[in-house]
Structures are given as structure tokens and as C-alpha cells.
Structure 1
Amino acid sequence: MVTSAPLRLLFIGGTGTISAAAAERAVALGHRLTVLNRGVSSERPAPPGTKLLQADIRNPAEVAEVLNGREFDVVADFISFTPEHVAAAVELFRGRTGQYVFTSSASAYQKPPAHLPILESTPLRNPFWKYSQDKIACEDFLVRAYRDEGFPVTIVRPSHTYDRTRIALLGGWTDIHRMREGLPVIVHGDGTSLWTLTHADDFAVAFVGLLGRPQAVGESYTITSDEALPWTRYTGSSPQRQGCRNPNWCTSPRTPLQRTPRSLALGFSGTGPTPWSSTTPRSKRWCPGIGQKFRSRRAHGRSSGGMMNIQASSTWTRTS
């Protein structure tokens, strides 16, 4: 139940992992929610009471037509990824909203980090991933718009977020499928590195809590859980929940990955991948015939959706 006057909210997107959870939270609190998207996804339906507008946000004329001069207390943009996207949003919503919330990414923070934990004050720099670089450029554009003209931006940086439809394992539902089949499942690194996962419902509490707050304008926020666990904890709890008795974990092959041309360009040393024939007996694990196995499963209709998103011909190593 809303404790103050209900807000007029516009969510651009609204069907993704975090935006759908935020929509549920906003409606549950009594806010008046409008969702604008192309209407092509039914995976996470909008909550009852939501006003739906169908348009492609990349087509400003189409969006202007469906908005028909409406104004909103808050516009939350979940699907802008480049400076061109946010520039169009500024033009579209200038003078028509009291707060524009841009969904950035915690991947924009300094890589590798000079200090831990990562805070909002951590510099933004990621030389490894264009997605993150574009998010940083979006933030730079919006901060300039705030400083130059008072455009009311709030920046939110979520991290690795999951919900009932998107599990938090590296391979998603494919990993669950492989567990049940007794096939190898990759674990990040050696399994001991720390990671933070955030449930979408928890993200939504903090996200919706920022909406309509004047003190949040001009600020940036990281929204993640405060729980940091090793990957062995995350992966170790999943098999029991999925009815898998003896999961077959394999760690990522760090040395071969460091010796790829891309890694060499980043300054890693090495002359080439370690040959398969030179690996020690304790780290050998081959999965023969997996390609044929999954082709057979597909032919007999025993798989669906993301479960078949598998590198079927790959060979993995596993530390015994």
C-alpha cells in the first residue's frame, strides 16, 4: 500500500528480469504504471492494472504519437544501451518528467578494481566489454545533461540479477539440464572466487524506493545484495533443489583462456594453449558423443527453449 500520493510512472521495457519485478512492486505499492514496449514478449506479463502502450522506443515519432503529450512523475528507462539511445530519450522527455531513471550496469565499474569492495565512488572504466563502455558513455551524456540543463537523471547500476525464469548459473537452464543428464557443468574460475547475486524482487524494493524522490536526482546508486559467496556455494546448492544427486562440476580452463590472441593483446604472457595430450590424468574429462546425444534429444522432442543452448561438441577439463 502506497504511503504517499501515487506516482505516475512510465517504464520503458517492463518485461525483463529487473523491469518486470520493478513493475510488480510499483503496482503493489499503488502507483499508476504505464509500460511502453513493442509488445513482443510474453515471458513476464505486466501486472494487472498496468496501462500498456505499444511502440518501438527507437522510433521517436511512433513513441510521441502513443504518448500523446502525456507527462509522468518518473520515466524509468531499462533498454537504453548507447549514447544515441539516451540522447533520444533526453529529447523525448525533456520537460515532461520530474525524474528520468537510467538503468546502467555494475559492470561499468573499474576492471580490474584497484580496491574492494566496489562502491558508487569506484571509477567507471571497463576496457574489456563494449556493453559496459557504452553504458559509461550513456552515463557521461546524462550527467552532462544534468549539469548543463538540469535534466533530472538518476542512475542505477544493477549487477548479476535473477528471477524465477532466469537462474543464476553461468549456463542458465542448460546447466540444470546437464546436471540431470550427469554431464559436465562449468564453474567460474576454480569455484572459490566471490560473487554477488541479487534476486529481482530485492532489486525492485530499492529501485522503486528511489522513484519520485527529489534527493535522488543527480545521484547514482548501486543496487545489489550484500551477500558475497563463492561460486561453489551457488552451484553446490542448485543440484539438490533440482533433484540432481551427483553433479559433474568442471572448473574453467584459466591457462588456455589466458593464452588466446585476445588475452595476449591484453598483456597476458604465454605462447599458446596447452595441448590436450599434455594434460595430467587427474584433470582429464572427455564427453564423447554429446553432439549426437543432444541431436537425438532434439529430434525426440525432449528438450525445449534455452536447455539446448549448449556447445555440444566441446571438450571440458575437470579437476578431480
Structure 2
Amino acid sequence: MREICVIGGSRYIGKRLIARLLESGDRVTAINRGSSAAPAGVRHLVADRDDENSLRAAIGSRSFDVVVDQVCYTPRQAEIAVRVFSGRTHRYVMTSTVEVYEYEHSPEPVREEAVDPLAVSVDMALPWDDATFREEHYGEGKRQAEAVFAAATEFPSVSVRVAHVLGGHDDFTGRVDHYAERIRAGEPIAVPVKNQPATYVYVEEIADFLAWTAGQEFTGPVNAHANGPLTTGDICAAIERQTGGRVEFAPVRMGETSPFSFARAYAMDNSRAAGLGYTFRHASEWLQQAVSETLAAREEVR
């Protein structure tokens, strides 16, 4: 039986990850600030992960085989985690993001080496404690957090670069709803003049992948996404089939566009994951199900 610590984990991907770990027979400890209850069957520790003393006190003398960090957004948080979990874990899995590639403008799907964490400069002087700054620099915060873990010698680590996530009745992002509301109302949907495809992942599959990664030995960054990119049109077509209505796109040269439309290529290459032994499904296999789950939950509320 493995001892696994999940930082975060009270909603969406995290609670699915915990369910899979419990099903596998792992003993799970969940750490959060206490604003949400931990899933049933886990040891719940309350701590502010931004407060080193709080985190250290909550953990006490415990140690873990693996830590899966769902909510590390800044290098400062990563630095605290390195100090606190030094000598207390054999492996650290950070949930990262496709946004680490925000400065890469390749027409081809990007591989992990496009952003080498060991080559990323870390600036602790930036106002990482400011929520607005952190949100506006989400990709940079994740990139620098990866760099801190990659440079650490206290334990081996892996950063899972997660694509845009779709699916689940508890999708809290509102992105699918954005499209559904406009399609139902016959309102135009703003997209870039040249609207690029992107890679996505089903919420159930990314939970599977994180659980699988916890049991592996590889280190470094790994891209996590379904095979086959999706366009805004693909997603809207699935919403049309669920809701009725008709999509109308309004190309704009400047200004805000809809959440799943991109003026640049936003695709990753998942061949490293495949080479390590995990094969993602094709997006076409789950897209309609993912959209149906999210919208069905909204219909129950309406």
C-alpha cells in the first residue's frame, strides 16, 4: 500500500484522481485550506500551502511515497514545497499546464523540450503573492514553479503539462456554457480571423493519467492530452447536437474572443507519454460525452 499525498484535490480533476488512488488501494492524505471537505476515505489535513509553517505543522512527522500537487501556481509555492517535503517523499508530481508554452509559436505540436525547466529563469522578487498578478501570469508562474522542482535535488519530480480540460458535470470554468448560451440565443461567437486548433483532454482521462504517473519512475515534463486537436467549430458542433440552435462565428481582428479560440497554434505533442507506456484516446471518442455531461448538469439547475 502506497502513502500518497494530494495537495488540493477537493474538486474537479483532484477528486477524480483521489477516487482512482483509493480504488487502487493507496492510502491518501489530502491537504487543503479547509474551505472544502476532502473526499470520503482520505486523511484530511488543513493548511495554507503559501505558509511554510502552516504546511510543515500540518504534515508533522508524516512521509509519503508520492506527493501530487494540484495547486502549485508559483515558484514561491514550489520553493516552500521543496523545503517542507525534503526527506518526506520519494517522488513529486506537479500538475502543470499547456500555458507554459505561451511564448512558443510553432505551427507544429510542441514537444516537452521546447520549454526545458532547467533553462527557465526564476524570479522570486515578482509579486507572486498578489492574486491578480498570479492570474495574469499563470503560464509564467507554472513555468517558474516547474523550474524550481526540476533544479531541486531533494526528490525526483515530474511536471504534467495538462491540455485544456473538457467534461464533467462539475466543470466550473463556464467555457462550454459560454458557447451554449450563444448558440441557444443565436448570438455570434467571437473568434480570431485565423482561428487555430488546440489540444484538449477529457477530465476523466487526465485523472487516469495523473494516477498512472504517480506509480511511474520517469522524471521531467510530460505533455498530457488526447490524440487529435480540436477546433472551436468541433466543440461548437458537439454543443449544437446537445442543445439545438445554430453556430454563428464572428471573426474579429482585435479584442476579446471566445474561450476556446486561439490566434496561434496551441497544440502539444504527446509522444513522450506514449513512449512511456500511456496511450491517450482520440478526442473524437469522448468529445460529445464531455459536452453532454457539462450541459446536462446545467439543465438540471435551470
The alignment's TM-score, normalised by the length of structure 1, stands at 0.67
Query: Does residue 1:97 correspond to 2:55, yes or no?
Result: no
Matches within 5 A, 1:249-288: 249-253=248-252, 255-257=253-255
Cα 1:229–1:114, aligned 2, differ >3 Å: closer, same or farther?
closer
Higher relative contact order (CA 8 A, sep 6+): 2
Q: CA RMSD in A?
A: 2.8
- Secondary structure, in 3 states, of the residue corresponding to 2:255? helix
Cα 1:237–1:115, aligned 2, differ >3 Å: closer, same or farther?
closer
Once the two structures are superposed, what CA deviation does each residue of 1:203-248 show, in whole Å capped at 9, x if it has no partner? Answer: 12221111143x32x322111111212211111111221x33x234
Once the two structures are superposed, what CA deviation does each residue of 1:70-101 show, in whole Å capped at 9, x if it has no partner? Answer: 10101111111111110100110000000111
- Secondary structure, in 3 states, of the residue corresponding to 1:195? coil
**1:14–1:35 contact (8 Å) kept in structure 2:** yes
**2:160–2:223 contact (8 Å) kept in structure 1:** yes
- Secondary structure, in 3 states, of the residue corresponding to 2:112? coil
Unaligned runs of 5+ in 2: 121-135, 257-297
Match of 1:163 in 2: 167
Q: How far did 1:16 drift? A: 3.8
Matched residue type, 2:176: G
Unaligned runs of 5+ in 1: 1-5, 259-303, 308-320
Query: Does residue 1:207 correspond to 2:207, yes or no?
Result: no
Q: Distance in 1 between matches of 2:188 and 2:36?
A: 29
Q: How far did 1:141 drift? A: 1.6
Between 26-35 and 70-79, the greater mean CA deviation after superposition: 26-35
Cα 1:33–1:179, aligned 2, differ >3 Å: closer, same or farther?
same
- Secondary structure, in 3 states, of the residue corresponding to 2:144? helix
Q: Distance in 2 between matches of 1:7 and 1:49?
A: 15
- Secondary structure, in 3 states, of the residue corresponding to 1:117? coil
- Secondary structure, in 3 states, of the residue corresponding to 2:205? helix
**2:100–2:142 contact (8 Å) kept in structure 1:** yes
- Structure 1 segments, 4+ long, off by >3 Å, are 165-172, 177-180
**1:162–1:200 contact (8 Å) kept in structure 2:** yes
Match of 1:236 in 2: 237
Matched residue type, 2:197: L
- Secondary structure, in 3 states, of the residue corresponding to 1:157? strand
Q: How far did 1:176 drift? A: 2.6
Query: Does residue 1:36 correspond to 2:31, yes or no?
Result: yes
Matched residue type, 1:142: F
Could you tell me the percent identity over the aligned residues?
22
**1:161–1:168 contact (8 Å) kept in structure 2:** no
Match of 1:60 in 2: 52
- Secondary structure, in 3 states, of the residue corresponding to 2:238? helix
Match of 1:310 in 2: none
Q: How far did 1:138 drift? A: 1.3
Query: Does residue 1:141 correspond to 2:148, yes or no?
Result: yes
**2:100–2:139 contact (8 Å) kept in structure 1:** yes
Q: Distance in 2 between matches of 1:30 and 1:210?
A: 16
State which structure, 1 or 2, has the greater radius of gyration over its C-alpha atoms: 1
Count how many residue pairs are aligned between Structure 1 and Structure 2.
241
Q: How far did 1:63 drift? A: 2.3
Matched residue type, 1:210: T
Q: Distance in 1 between matches of 2:224 and 2:20?
A: 15
Query: Does residue 1:111 correspond to 2:103, yes or no?
Result: yes
Once the two structures are superposed, what CA deviation does each residue of 1:87-126 show, in whole Å capped at 9, x if it has no partner? Answer: 100110000000111122111125343351211122368x
Cα 1:132–1:169, aligned 2, differ >3 Å: closer, same or farther?
closer
